[in-house]
């Protein structure tokens, strides 16, 4: 078994083991140990990646290729570069933290962990795939458990949210399918064979008309998952209704599939389409960034605030990708990672607060810092990271995005960049406002005084997520090395 396939096999084994679990104690231990193995494997993968890179100069390392459907040239092809390694680490940390946060899941616990890990299987499979078909397959596997996860264990208008989210994401994947077929049937442009393999397709130049036709389909197909305006509406409802761990996984990991897919498939394989369409999509992403931030100000439900903030932050990822230069791309990937950890942390904390106060309405809470200090302090830290304070991950990312964006001297890009930068100010407003209303001030509600302090499993989950945020803010060098090397083939192909 090769080092990458294990990332799909371990979750599957965990699921099979979960089928035999009877009590909550068993199922959570099985789930946690499975995902702990996954987490350790991802740490080992970083080490193995650097070791391999010393003498192996390929675009993708640890590549394996097995023929699956010969007549359609479908392979099970896997491989990773620095970007996917970073994403795999992100995913494994968030999944593990998510399982700790759901430690007290009572209702249908076994099914909950199974659905959660099916989702994780899809995510890991997606990040290791080099074949468009398998990538698409894992993408759908990652999306469909959301329906059950939100619908069964969610709160509020959960059926509506679950249906809306699933239909919008699956609709997007359906559009993506047309794009993928379009790429496939043009992949023999150089006279070679038809192929789904990303590395092979990257060697040919697909005819420009086909690129212009299929780029928007592929782009939108992925970007809906990355909450591109105006297709973001599934995200606030979905996040607000989902149970804590699912919100974490969804905002932290699943939405990253969007940005990653846009970059790896739409832009890398259809560079000229990207040139043609970039301005159009820049407009949409700028609207998303600014609109998301403004909408977050207006919300009083903690989860909605965070969900709109995700729309804003991920809009920034798409914005940076479309800037088509190295610095901005670097920033986009850092932003993806940083947002993943940060939002997961946010949602975890919101879940803990909700578990105690039984409300998510900011106006009804006050003085939490005095009663649940650990959770409150962590919330402040997550907030500061989110608004881009130096020393945390968000700063590094946004800095690079804007430096990259300002390299475009023309009016259009300047205006777009200025609008996006100003959204950061708005971000500060909504984060500080929540911190002020919810955490500071006197404890007005007497019930709040008897709150239980954070338990060991809650602390474990939170610290797991906090470490990478600080790490990325203080010593981003390792990560930058990994990403910079991996950007080289993109730069070579597109710039």
Partner 1 sequence: MRQELVLLAVILLLVILEIFMNNKKALVNWALVIFGLHTLTGFLPMDEGSLFGGMYQTSQLVHLFKNVLNIGVLIILLQSAEWIKKEIVDQHKSTEFFIMMLSSLLGMYFMISSGDFLMFYLGLELSALPIAALVAFDTTKRVSAEAGIKFILSAALASGTSVFGVSLIYATTGSIYFDEVAQLLSYSNLSLVGFIFFFSGLAFKISLVPFHFWTADVYEGAPIGVTSYLSVISKGSAVMILMIILFTVMKPFEMVTTSMLYIVSVTTMFIGNLFALRQQNMKRFLAFSSIAQAGFILLGLLSNDQLGVSTVVYFVSIYVFTNLAAFGVIQSISTQTGKENMDDYDGLYRTNPKLSLVMMLALFSLAGIPPVAGFFGKFFLFTAAASQGFYFLVFLAVVNVTISLYYYLLVVRAMFLRKSDQAIPYFDSSFTMKLGLVLAVIGVLFIGVYSPIYEYIYQLSIL
Contact residue for partner 1 among 62, 147, 379, 402 (CB under 8 A): 147
Contact residue for partner 1 among 68, 103, 374, 457 (CB under 8 A): 68
CB of 288 to partner 1, least distance (A): 22
Rounded CA-CA distance 211/207 in Å is 6
Number of chain residues interacting with partner 1 (CB under 8 A): 33
Q: Does 16 contact partner 1 by CB under 8 A? A: no
Q: Does 158 contact partner 1 by CB under 8 A? A: yes
Stretch of residues binding partner 1 (CB under 8 A), selected from 162-170, 249-257, 301-309, 362-370? 162-170
Q: Does 151 contact partner 1 by CB under 8 A? A: yes
Task: Kindly write out the interface string for residues 213-242 of this chain, putting x where it contacts partner 1 by CB under 8 A and - elsewhere.
Answer: x-----------------------------
| Residue 303: both structure tokens together | 């989860």
- Whether 99 contacts 120, CB under 8 Å: no
HSE, side-chain direction, 13 A CA sphere, residue 381? 23
With CA atoms as reference, report the closest residue to 86 among 489, 484, 400: 484
Rounded CA-CA distance 72/70 in Å is 5
SS3 readout for 375-386 = HHHHHHHHHHHH
Q: Does 144 contact partner 1 by CB under 8 A? A: yes
User: Closer to partner 1 at the Cβ: 76 or 395?
Assistant: 76
Q: Does 381 contact partner 1 by CB under 8 A? A: no
User: Closer to partner 1 at the Cβ: 49 or 196?
Assistant: 196
Q: Does 113 contact partner 1 by CB under 8 A? A: no
- Whether 239 contacts 310, CB under 8 Å: yes
> Cis link prior to 230 (omega < 30° from 0)?
yes
User: Closer to partner 1 at the Cβ: 151 or 271?
Assistant: 151
- Whether 99 contacts 116, CB under 8 Å: yes
Rounded CA-CA distance 286/16 in Å is 44
User: Closer to partner 1 at the Cβ: 169 or 349?
Assistant: 169
Rounded CA-CA distance 443/231 in Å is 40
**Sign (positive/negative) of CA torsion 320, 326, 330, 331?**
negative
Contact residue for partner 1 among 140, 272, 301, 485 (CB under 8 A): 140
CB-CB neighbours of 300 under 10 Å: 13
Q: Does 148 contact partner 1 by CB under 8 A? A: yes
* Residue 65 DSSP class: E
Q: 108: burial class by Cβ within 10 Å (0-12, 13-18, 19+)?
A: middle
- Whether 68 contacts 74, CB under 8 Å: yes
- Whether 330 contacts 338, CB under 8 Å: no
> How far apart, in Å, are the Cα atoms of 114 and each of 120, 123, 331, 351?
10, 14, 34, 20
Q: Does 438 contact partner 1 by CB under 8 A? A: no
With CA atoms as reference, report the closest residue to 461 among 86, 99, 166, 11: 99
Task: Kindly write out the interface string for residues 27-66 of this chain, putting x where it contacts partner 1 by CB under 8 A and - elsewhere.
Answer: ----------------------------------------
Q: Does 109 contact partner 1 by CB under 8 A? A: no
Q: Does 184 contact partner 1 by CB under 8 A? A: yes
Contact residue for partner 1 among 40, 58, 185, 189 (CB under 8 A): 185
Q: Does 167 contact partner 1 by CB under 8 A? A: yes
Contact residue for partner 1 among 178, 389, 470, 488 (CB under 8 A): 178
Rounded CA-CA distance 8/71 in Å is 25
Q: Does 71 contact partner 1 by CB under 8 A? A: yes
CB of 66 to partner 1, least distance (A): 10
Contact residue for partner 1 among 43, 56, 69, 495 (CB under 8 A): 69
CB of 56 to partner 1, least distance (A): 30
Q: Does 70 contact partner 1 by CB under 8 A? A: yes
CB of 373 to partner 1, least distance (A): 38
User: Closer to partner 1 at the Cβ: 151 or 261?
Assistant: 151
Q: Does 162 contact partner 1 by CB under 8 A? A: yes
Rounded CA-CA distance 154/162 in Å is 9
Contact residue for partner 1 among 98, 182, 216, 259 (CB under 8 A): 182
Q: 348: burial class by Cβ within 10 Å (0-12, 13-18, 19+)?
A: buried
Q: Does 175 contact partner 1 by CB under 8 A? A: yes
- Whether 153 contacts 245, CB under 8 Å: no
- Whether 378 contacts 466, CB under 8 Å: yes
CB of 140 to partner 1, least distance (A): 5
User: Closer to partner 1 at the Cβ: 179 or 476?
Assistant: 179
User: Closer to partner 1 at the Cβ: 140 or 485?
Assistant: 140
| Footprint of partner 1 (CB under 8 A) | 68-72, 74, 133, 137-138, 140-141, 144, 147-148, 151-152, 158-159, 162-163, 166-167, 170-171, 174-175, 177-178, 181-182, 184-185, 213
């Amino acid at each position: 078994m090769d080092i990458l396939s294990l990332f799909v096999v371990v979750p599957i084994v965990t699921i099979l083991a979960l089928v035999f679990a009877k009590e909550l104690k068993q199922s959570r231990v099985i789930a946690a140990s499975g995902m702990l193995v996954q987490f350790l494997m991802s740490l080992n993968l970083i080490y193995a990646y650097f070791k391999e890179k010393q003498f192996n100069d390929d675009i993708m390392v640890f590549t394996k290729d097995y023929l699956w459907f010969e007549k359609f040239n479908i392979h099970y092809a896997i491989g990773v570069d620095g970007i996917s390694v970073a994403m795999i680490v992100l995913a494994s940390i968030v999944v593990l933290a998510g399982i700790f946060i759901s430690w007290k899941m009572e209702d249908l616990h076994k099914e909950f962990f199974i659905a959660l890990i099916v989702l994780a299987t899809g995510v890991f499979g997606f990040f290791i795939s080099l074949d468009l078909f398998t990538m698409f397959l894992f993408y759908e596997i990652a999306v469909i458990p959301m329906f059950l996860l939100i619908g069964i264990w969610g709160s509020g208008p959960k059926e509506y949210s679950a249906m809306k989210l699933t239909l919008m994401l699956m609709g997007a994947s359906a559009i993506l399918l047309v794009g993928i077929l379009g790429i496939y049937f043009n992949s023999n442009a150089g006279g070679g064979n038809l192929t789904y393999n990303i590395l092979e397709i990257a060697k040919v130049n697909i005819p420009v008309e086909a690129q212009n036709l299929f780029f928007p389909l592929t782009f939108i197909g992925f970007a809906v998952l990355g909450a591109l305006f105006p297709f973001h509406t599934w995200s606030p409802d979905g996040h607000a209704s989902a149970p804590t761990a699912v919100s974490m996984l969804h905002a932290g990991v699943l939405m990253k599939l969007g940005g990653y897919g846009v970059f790896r498939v739409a832009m890398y394989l259809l560079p000229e389409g990207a040139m043609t369409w970039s301005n159009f999509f820049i407009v949409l992403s700028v609207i998303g960034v600014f609109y998301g931030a403004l909408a977050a100000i207006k919300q009083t439900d903690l989860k909605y605030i965070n969900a709109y903030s995700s729309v804003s932050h991920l809009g920034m990822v798409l914005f940076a990708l479309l800037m088509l230069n190295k610095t901005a791309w670097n920033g986009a990937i850092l932003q993806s990672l940083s947002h993943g950890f940060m939002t997961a942390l946010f949602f975890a904390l919101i879940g803990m607060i909700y578990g105690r106060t039984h409300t998510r309405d900011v106006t009804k809470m006050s003085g939490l810092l005095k009663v649940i200090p650990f959770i409150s302090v962590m919330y402040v830290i997550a907030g500061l990271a989110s608004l881009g304070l130096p020393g945390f991950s968000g700063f590094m990312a946004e800095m690079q995005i804007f430096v990259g964006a300002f390299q475009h001297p023309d009016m259009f890009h300047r205006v777009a960049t200025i609008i996006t930068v100003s959204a950061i100010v708005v971000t500060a407003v909504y984060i500080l406002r929540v911190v002020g209303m919810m955490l500071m001030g006197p404890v007005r509600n007497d019930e709040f005084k008897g709150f239980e302090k954070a338990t060991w499993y809650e602390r474990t989950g939170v610290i797991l997520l906090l470490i990478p945020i600080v790490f990325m803010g203080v010593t981003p060098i390792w990560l930058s090395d990994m990403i910079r090397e991996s950007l080289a083939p993109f730069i070579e192909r597109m710039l």
